[in-house]
């Protein structure tokens, strides 16, 4: 007599991770030109006390908004960008919790050739940036 046993096991696991805060960039882009302004805001679930906006530049410098760059206004940091501001930005609590990180690249417009790639870059008309032919 032959006995055949078939066992089918199906396991479905759904894991949803929710960060305690998220970083909002306005305008909503990751590529900027020198002297453009950007507002970075920490949107915190619950109590926003103790959250700071931080960055790590491509040169490895880590610092908080308002120390060497940007102007802190509540949970928002307003920055007039220069190329050395390129790097990763995130929100962090005093206890070490953190938001998503956003990589921002700042281009020096004087060093960029006017190519179709540059022309096709999304530009915000309200930024006040103008390209003039010489």
pLDDT value at residue 113: 61
Distances in Å between the alpha carbon of 123 and those of 13, 23, 118, 126? Answer: 42, 21, 10, 9
119 has pLDDT over 70 = no
**Where are the domains positioned within the chain?**
21-121
Residue 56 to residue 103: CA distance in whole angstroms: 9
Per-residue pLDDT band for 14 (boundaries 50, 70, 90) equals very low
Per-residue pLDDT band for 127 (boundaries 50, 70, 90) equals low
Per-residue pLDDT band for 49 (boundaries 50, 70, 90) equals confident
In terms of C-beta density within 10 A (0-12 exposed, 13-18 middle, 19 or more buried), how is residue 106 classed? buried
pLDDT digits (tens, 9 = 90+) for 50-79: 889 999 999 999 999 999 999 998 889 999
CATH topology of domain 21-121: Immunoglobulin-like (2.60.40)
Average pLDDT over residues 8-37: 78
């Amino acid at each position: 007599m032959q006995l055949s046993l078939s066992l089918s096991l199906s396991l479905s696991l759904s894991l949803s991770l929710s960060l305690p805060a998220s970083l909002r960039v306005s305008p909503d882009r990751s590529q900027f030109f020198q002297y453009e302004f950007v507002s970075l805001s920490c949107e915190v679930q619950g109590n926003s006390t103790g959250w700071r906006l931080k960055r790590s530049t491509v040169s490895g410098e880590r610092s908080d908004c308002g120390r060497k760059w940007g102007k802190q206004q509540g949970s928002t940091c307003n920055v007039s960008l220069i190329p050395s501001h390129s790097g990763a930005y995130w929100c962090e609590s005093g206890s070490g919790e953190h938001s998503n990180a956003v990589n921002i690249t700042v281009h020096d417009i004087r060093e960029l050739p006017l190519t179709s790639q540059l022309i096709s870059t999304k530009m915000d008309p309200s930024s006040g940036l103008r390209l003039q032919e010489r």
